[in-house]
Structure 1
Amino acid sequence: MSVDLWDSALIDASIWHSRTGDVSRQFRYRALYVALPVDQLESGRLPLRPDSPGLWRLRRRDHGHRDGSRLTAFAEAQLAPVGLAHCRITLVTMPRGLLHGFNPVSFWLARDHGGLRAVLAEVSNTFGESHVYLCRHADNREIRPGDRLRGKKMFHVSPFLPREGHYVFRFDTRPGRFGAWIDWFGQDGNLSLQTSMTGKARALTRTSLRRAAFRHAFQPLRVTGLIHWQAAKLFSRGVRYRTKPPQLAIRRSDAVTEKPDV
């Protein structure tokens, strides 16, 4: 039986990065994510509850407004101005572990009876900063698995990439799976970095959550270590290290339907 992300789920994700251009390098690792319907999360109807202790935790101040306020308030603030306040929201994220919490990217999926309408891609860096890319079609039609949404890169993530260029996003949220692809194109228009997070969805229950938390209690610490290990490899190969620029004042930007180059 397929598990729908809007009913809550565990996602056995495979994360892949491929860099080309100045240096060719690929790496892949696995991580376990959760898909949490935000209304059920905040009403306490899910096995994982916000701001509660445990081997796995979800803190409100790690997401959205980052001030501990309700997650639904953040989602509504982003979606209401573009006519999507009526959508149901599912948050796909990596919970905090026993000693550490870090989310390279979380996805807020906005859906109504007609399908997926928008995705808030909440990107974080290891410097404690975050930025949200609002991915949607300009007319708010359904986002299908093959649709490509383009947005200007506005946020410093890696010290081995400039902040300039643009992203192309793709998503697949059909039952039983989750997929997100984010490709980065430099100022020269060349595709230089491909990333993906894909995996099957399975039921989130008290038992499956307990087992997952026990087996992956230190997952965020492991992911942070892998990121720094890959950075060390790039540095050893002579890739230029870029000092972090001041974060831009704008904290949310748009990624809309990609138009073919003329």
Structure 2
Amino acid sequence: MSVDLWDGALIDARIWHARSGDVARSFRYRAVYAALPLPALEAGVLPLRLDRRGLWRIRRRDLGWRDGRGPGEFIGAILRPVGLGGADVTLVTLPRSLGHGFNPVSFWLARDGQGLRAVLAEVSNTFGERHLYLCRHADNRVIAEADRMVAEKLFHVSPFLPRSGRYEFRFDARPGRFGAWIDWFGEAGDLRLQTSMTGRARPLTAGSLRGAMLRHPFQGLKVTGLIHWQALQLALRGVRYSRKPRQLDRSMSEAQQRGADRDV
């Protein structure tokens, strides 16, 4: 039976990055993400509980406003002004492991009875900064699996890529799986970086969580280590290192369908 992400799930994700243009390089790795329906998360009835200690941990301070306020309050304040305040939300995120946590991107998925209406991509960098990309149609119609949502790149992530160009987002949140694709196009409109996170979903239970924690106790450190290892490989191949610019004051922008009017 297919597992619905809004019922709670573990996602056995395959993450892929492929760079082209100045240097052609790609790498893959695996990680286990959690899909956490917000009502159950805030009620404390999921095997993963907010701010509860353990091999894996979900902390309020790692998400949303990062000041201790609840995740439901955070995402509600973003969805209500665009007419999606009544949507059901589940959070796809990488838990902390053994006290260490770095999550390049978390996805807040908002749907109603008809389908997926919005995705908030919460993108973080290794400097402790983040930017929110709200992906939706201007009329809030259902986001189909083939829809590409476009946003200007406004956030510095990698010292080996400029803060310019555009992102194209695509999502698949059907029962039994999760997929997110984020492509980066340079200022000339050329595709320079492709990334994806795809995987099958399985039930989130005390037993499945325990097994995942025991098999992947260090995945937070693994993700951070892989990011620095790939940075070293790019540096050794002569890719120019750029100093981190001062982040823009704007912390959220919208991504809407390619070819449509959009506010980014």
- Report the equivalent of 1:30: 30
Structure 2 Cα separation of the partners of residues 101 and 210 of structure 1: 18
Q: Alpha-carbon deviations, 1:214-246, whole Å to 9, x = none?
A: 221111001100000000000000001010011
Q: What pairs up with 1:142-221 in 2 under 5 angstroms?
A: 142-221=142-221
**Kept after mapping to 2: 8 A contact 1:3/1:9:** yes
User: Over residues 109-145 of structure 1, what are the superposed CA-to-partner deviations in whole Å (9 max), with x where a residue is unaligned?
Assistant: 0011110000000000000001110000011000010
User: 2: CA distance between counterparts of 1:102 and 1:174?
Assistant: 26
User: Which residue of the partner structure matches residue 251 of structure 1?
Assistant: 251
SS at structure 1 position matched to 2:95: coil
Counterparts of 2:47 and 2:82 in 1: how far apart (Å)? 32
RMSD, aligned CA: 0.7
CA distance in structure 2 between the aligned counterparts of 1:220 and 1:168, rounded to whole angstroms: 26
In the superposition, the TM-score normalised over structure 1's length comes to 0.98
Deviations 1:169-215 (A, max 9, x none): 00000000000000000111101000000000001000111111122
Letter in 1 for 2:99: L
Q: Which residue of 1 aligns with 2:65?
A: 65
Letter of the structure 2 residue corresponding to residue 79 of structure 1: L
Counterpart AA for 1:142? V
> In 2, distance between residues paired with 1:100 and 1:249?
28
The number of equivalent residue pairs is: 260
Distance (whole Å) between structure 2 residues aligned to residue 53 and residue 18 of structure 1? 35
What is the match of residue 125 of structure 1? Answer: 125
Which secondary structure state, in structure 1, belongs to the residue aligned with residue 77 of structure 2? helix
Is the CA contact 1:99–1:218 (under 8 Å) kept in the aligned structure 2? no
SS of 1:151 mapped into structure 2: strand
Look up the equivalent residue of 2:200 and give its one-letter code.
K
Question: Relative to structure 2, which stretch is displaced further, 213-222 or 231-240?
Answer: 213-222
- Deviation track 1:27-62 (CA, whole Å, cap 9, x = no partner) reads 000000000001110001111100000000000010
- Equivalence for 1:19: 19
Distance 1:84 1:9 in 2: 23
Please state whether the residue corresponding to 1:39 is helix, strand or coil. helix
Amino acid at match of 1:111: R
Task: Provide the residue aligned with 2:114 in structure 1.
Answer: 114
1:221-240, aligned counterparts within 5 Å?
A: 221-240=221-240
> Residue type of the partner of 1:130?
R
SS in structure 1 at match of 2:227: helix
Question: Where does structure 1 differ by over 3 angstroms across 4 or more consecutive aligned residues?
Answer: none
- Unmatched segments (≥5 aa) in structure 1: none
The answer to whether residue 85 in structure 2 is matched with residue 90 in structure 1 is no
| In structure 2, C-alpha distance between the alignment counterparts of 1:211 and 1:147, rounded to whole Å | 35
Deviation at 1:99? 3.2
Secondary structure in 1 aligned to 2:158? coil
Q: What's the TM-score, normalizing by structure 2?
A: 0.97
CA contact (8 A) 1:12 1:201 kept: yes
